[in-house]
A = this chain, B = another copy of it.
Amino acid sequence: MRKFVFSEDRVNREVIATLTTLSNGFVSIRGDPEFAESRHGTFVSGVYSFTPVFYREIANLPRAHALYLELDGIPLAPESVKYSLDTKGGFLETDSVLASPSGRVSYRSQRFVHKVLKGLVGLKAQIRSLDASGRLCIKAPIELDTVNPSVPPEISVKLYRVLSAERGDFPTVDVETADGRYRLRVVSIVRLRGGCGAGFYATGRHIGQAACLDIHPGDSISLERFAVFGLKPEDVARQASETARGFESLFEEHRACWEREWEEIDLRVEGDEEFAAALAFNTFHLLQLYNDEGKVFMLPARGLHGHGYRGHVFWDADIYALPFYLFFKPEAARKMLEYRCRTLSAAVENARRSGYEGAQYPWESADDGFEATPREVPLDLAGEKRVRIRTGELEHHITADVAYAVDLYYRFTKDEEFLERCGLKILVLTARFWASRARWDPARARFVIRNVIGPDEYHVGVDNNFYTNVMAKHNLELAVHYSAKAYSDPKLRERLSELRVTQEEISRWAEISSKLEIPCRDDGLCEQFEGYFELKDFRIEPGVVGEENLPREVISSVHRYQVIKQADVVAALFLLRDKFPAEILEKNYEYYLQRTTHASSLSLPMYAALALYLGRTEEGYSMLKKAALADLVDVYGNTREGFHVGSAGGVWMAILFGLLKIQAGKSLYYERGASLGRVTISFNIRYRGAKVRVEVQGLPHA
């Protein structure tokens, strides 16, 4: 369907490498070319280890897809590299000219990370001599020296150790994460088409195969390389044996699976080619992050696309990305929540450590669910400059966000099994957290939540943050609601009694939620937190994204201003849009939009969602499109560190809930008159086992 072509002439290789990352939700490799050295090895979903500063992070595992070319002993260097990501077939093609003093070769490759054989990376290279003559040697190593970059950037950490590196039938390496929690096997297989065999070699850092042959102008060589990764040796052996089928057979199977996936969704966008491309691009990356064989779906904020945020999971998953999966891959949505189930006991421990009750989900979550937010980030090697980070300590709304996601999932799926096994427990334990977190303020006769960070992280340690309080209230209400429901269901009632939920506790939740401070003025304007309206005012030009254009005095003491980083009041209002009258949504949208820098990629999708919900089509679409292009045009300047899952997912959230106003019912309800101006969108979604075609009809062209 769509090819995305990138060239190093215009875009930095590290940015392209994120954009052209291939993954099947288990194994992930960035798109940097196999013929060049790279710091980036392989990510395997869920394989984390302890690390300085960031608690635990996803390990940069051995790189097993390189193909190093040398002509007469001189490494060939690229003169030009063109990348073409085929999202329809889920593969990456490169087309390059490589040069050395003995001449130039053209180098073309195709690469996939197999959609079904989850451990398998396949690569086929076609090398043709343009004017090169000489001895061409090709090396295909498993590189055992990949490390995780740390902070400051001079520091790196090796998160695995090599247990064995052996010849076997093919070079085979067993590694173990530095903490000993995970073991991984890597096998590398090279097949030269109709040529001589490849020889085995090993140095301290590399183990692999190499082959040489003489080339002359016009000669062509074709080469297949496979790498198989797996946590279980038997999985690796099985998939390695599949490679005997050869690249073409595996590649065709892989592409066919992708094509089926796309047919299933049948996404069509017309009227704005750029937006259509961006939406397809984001959809491709969201789809490839899901491993349907996994028991849980752990979705890092930057995907499996880079070291940004260290593979940690944020509310980006539960709030921004979940709607996409809920409608396109309901199983994936369930497995996202299974991840929160699996880490529920860690959340209980997090609450205990903070001095609260119930379950407190960590602001940043790694594989084990303990708080993984860095508390302090060193900025220099001298140990003099450090940034203190307080989100792990204070950004508590994540706990309500998880509860929100549980309810959303249940309402649309009616997945009773999940509710009974885990969902109810999450709702009860998170409500308990808020019940212990909120404090009674006798002076105003309200419950208050003091000292938090809301979604807008410019203002730290504030009291009664609107988003936090509204979501906490909702969390308590959900616990009340589902507990009531549980009383009429024998199995759920059993769960309640296991959790020792009493009528008194339920009443307490109801009381706290009804008396929790929600600071809105009589005119309908809600205050982001206590004292916000007393801060200095500053308006931001419409359409400006990021902090670059702010006056220095504003950005250097931004906490003294009403300037905010991202949707906060607006986020709560959108998420709980049924609970507020339209005038309040309108009023706050207008007020806060003018004061938001959108310096977080989570901002535009939320504003777009509310704008579309309010029928502000033009500005909503403008923000939606900008959000959809976040990575393709590197809006936030950090695409090199990974894909923006929250932004990509948030665009779909805005379409599904903002524009289409999808609601659960016996069958799916959505607003048929929704408009995106001239843009037409249609796609299939899944709703309780059925396929539903959803359409937004574009206006006719003028």
A residues within 8 Å of B by Cβ?
36-37, 49-52, 70, 72-75, 77, 100-101, 135, 137-139, 147, 150, 154-159, 178-179, 199-205, 210-212, 378, 380-383
3 closest pairs, A vs B, by CB?
A: A73-B137, A50-B382, A73-B212
The complex places the Cα of A500 from the Cα of B100 at a distance, in Å, of 70
Residues of B contacting A150 with CB < 8 Å?
155
The complex places the Cα of A196 from the Cα of B77 at a distance, in Å, of 22
Whether A203 touches B36, Cβ cut-off 8 Å, given contacts A73-B212, A154-B158, A156-B158, is yes
Whether A210 touches B73, Cβ cut-off 8 Å, given contacts A50-B382, A381-B50, is yes
Query: Judging by beta carbons under 8 Å apart, are A73 and B138 in contact?
Result: yes
Question: Can you list 22 residue pairs at the A/B interface with Cβ under 8 Å?
Answer: A37-B203, A37-B205, A49-B381, A50-B380, A50-B381, A50-B382, A52-B155, A52-B378, A52-B381, A52-B383, A72-B137, A72-B199, A73-B211, A73-B212, A77-B201, A77-B203, A135-B135, A135-B212, A154-B157, A156-B156, A156-B158, A178-B381
A211's nearest neighbour on chain B, judged by CB, is: B73
Residues of B contacting A154 with CB < 8 Å?
157-159, 178
Query: Judging by beta carbons under 8 Å apart, are A74 and B201 in contact?
Result: yes
Query: Judging by beta carbons under 8 Å apart, are A199 and B139 in contact?
Result: no
The complex places the Cα of A610 from the Cα of B456 at a distance, in Å, of 71
- Residue among A100, A138, A156 with the highest chain B CB neighbour number at 10 A: A156
The complex places the Cα of A135 from the Cα of B213 at a distance, in Å, of 10
Query: Judging by beta carbons under 8 Å apart, are B201 and A100 in contact?
Result: yes
A159's nearest neighbour on chain B, judged by CB, is: B154
For the complex formed, measure the closest distance between the CB of A191 and the CB atoms of chain B, giving whole angstroms.
Answer: 16
Interface residue from B138, B147, B205, B380 paired with A156 (Cβ < 8 Å) = B147
The complex places the Cα of A200 from the Cα of B74 at a distance, in Å, of 7
For the complex formed, measure the closest distance between the CB of A447 and the CB atoms of chain B, giving whole angstroms.
Answer: 36
Query: Judging by beta carbons under 8 Å apart, are B381 and A73 in contact?
Result: no
Interface residue from B75, B159, B178, B211 paired with A203 (Cβ < 8 Å) = B75
A53's nearest neighbour on chain B, judged by CB, is: B383
Residues of B contacting A50 with CB < 8 Å?
380-383
For the complex formed, measure the closest distance between the CB of A175 and the CB atoms of chain B, giving whole angstroms.
Answer: 13
Residues of B contacting A72 with CB < 8 Å?
137, 199, 210, 212
Query: Judging by beta carbons under 8 Å apart, are A199 and B37 in contact?
Result: no
The complex places the Cα of A100 from the Cα of B137 at a distance, in Å, of 15
- Residue among A36, A52, A138, A383 with the highest chain B CB neighbour number at 10 A: A52
A73's nearest neighbour on chain B, judged by CB, is: B137
- Residue among A147, A157, A159, A381 with the highest chain B CB neighbour number at 10 A: A381
Query: Judging by beta carbons under 8 Å apart, are B101 and A199 in contact?
Result: yes
Query: Judging by beta carbons under 8 Å apart, are A73 and B70 in contact?
Result: yes
The complex places the Cα of A52 from the Cα of B50 at a distance, in Å, of 18
Residues of B contacting A178 with CB < 8 Å?
154, 381
The complex places the Cα of A690 from the Cα of B159 at a distance, in Å, of 59
Query: Judging by beta carbons under 8 Å apart, are B159 and A202 in contact?
Result: no
Extra 20 A-B pairs, beta carbons < 8 Å, given A70-B137, A73-B211, A156-B157: A36-B204, A37-B204, A50-B381, A52-B383, A70-B73, A73-B137, A73-B139, A73-B210, A73-B212, A74-B199, A74-B200, A75-B202, A77-B202, A100-B201, A135-B135, A154-B158, A154-B159, A154-B178, A157-B381, A178-B381
For the complex formed, measure the closest distance between the CB of A171 and the CB atoms of chain B, giving whole angstroms.
Answer: 13
Residues of B contacting A380 with CB < 8 Å?
50
Residues of B contacting A382 with CB < 8 Å?
50, 179
A134's nearest neighbour on chain B, judged by CB, is: B212
The complex places the Cα of A29 from the Cα of B135 at a distance, in Å, of 34
Residues of B contacting A75 with CB < 8 Å?
201-203, 210
Whether A74 touches B210, Cβ cut-off 8 Å, given contacts A37-B204, A154-B158, A158-B154, is yes
Residues of B contacting A211 with CB < 8 Å?
73
Residues of B contacting A212 with CB < 8 Å?
72-73, 135
For the complex formed, measure the closest distance between the CB of A41 and the CB atoms of chain B, giving whole angstroms.
Answer: 15
Residues of B contacting A77 with CB < 8 Å?
201-203
The complex places the Cα of A201 from the Cα of B69 at a distance, in Å, of 12
Residues of B contacting A200 with CB < 8 Å?
74, 101
The complex places the Cα of A75 from the Cα of B141 at a distance, in Å, of 12
For the complex formed, measure the closest distance between the CB of A77 and the CB atoms of chain B, giving whole angstroms.
Answer: 7
Residues of B contacting A100 with CB < 8 Å?
199, 201
Residues of B contacting A159 with CB < 8 Å?
154, 381
For the complex formed, measure the closest distance between the CB of A169 and the CB atoms of chain B, giving whole angstroms.
Answer: 16
Residues of B contacting A157 with CB < 8 Å?
154-156, 381
Residues of B contacting A139 with CB < 8 Å?
73
The complex places the Cα of A137 from the Cα of B50 at a distance, in Å, of 41
Query: Judging by beta carbons under 8 Å apart, are A51 and B203 in contact?
Result: no
For the complex formed, measure the closest distance between the CB of A179 and the CB atoms of chain B, giving whole angstroms.
Answer: 7
The complex places the Cα of A380 from the Cα of B49 at a distance, in Å, of 11
The complex places the Cα of A156 from the Cα of B51 at a distance, in Å, of 12
A204's nearest neighbour on chain B, judged by CB, is: B37
The complex places the Cα of A77 from the Cα of B204 at a distance, in Å, of 10
For the complex formed, measure the closest distance between the CB of A3 and the CB atoms of chain B, giving whole angstroms.
Answer: 28
The complex places the Cα of A211 from the Cα of B203 at a distance, in Å, of 20
The complex places the Cα of A179 from the Cα of B152 at a distance, in Å, of 12
Residues of B contacting A383 with CB < 8 Å?
50, 52
The complex places the Cα of A147 from the Cα of B150 at a distance, in Å, of 14
Residues of B contacting A135 with CB < 8 Å?
135, 212
A39's nearest neighbour on chain B, judged by CB, is: B204
The complex places the Cα of A49 from the Cα of B77 at a distance, in Å, of 33
The complex places the Cα of A204 from the Cα of B159 at a distance, in Å, of 22
For the complex formed, measure the closest distance between the CB of A382 and the CB atoms of chain B, giving whole angstroms.
Answer: 4
- Residue among A74, A139, A199 with the highest chain B CB neighbour number at 10 A: A74
Query: Judging by beta carbons under 8 Å apart, are B51 and A381 in contact?
Result: yes
A138's nearest neighbour on chain B, judged by CB, is: B73
Residues of B contacting A73 with CB < 8 Å?
70, 137-139, 199, 210-212
Residues of B contacting A36 with CB < 8 Å?
203-204
The complex places the Cα of A378 from the Cα of B51 at a distance, in Å, of 12
Residues of B contacting A205 with CB < 8 Å?
37
The complex places the Cα of A184 from the Cα of B138 at a distance, in Å, of 34
The complex places the Cα of A70 from the Cα of B139 at a distance, in Å, of 11
Residues of B contacting A203 with CB < 8 Å?
36-37, 75, 77
A36's nearest neighbour on chain B, judged by CB, is: B204
For the complex formed, measure the closest distance between the CB of A102 and the CB atoms of chain B, giving whole angstroms.
Answer: 8
Residues of B contacting A201 with CB < 8 Å?
74-75, 77, 100
A161's nearest neighbour on chain B, judged by CB, is: B154
The complex places the Cα of A212 from the Cα of B156 at a distance, in Å, of 35
For the complex formed, measure the closest distance between the CB of A376 and the CB atoms of chain B, giving whole angstroms.
Answer: 11
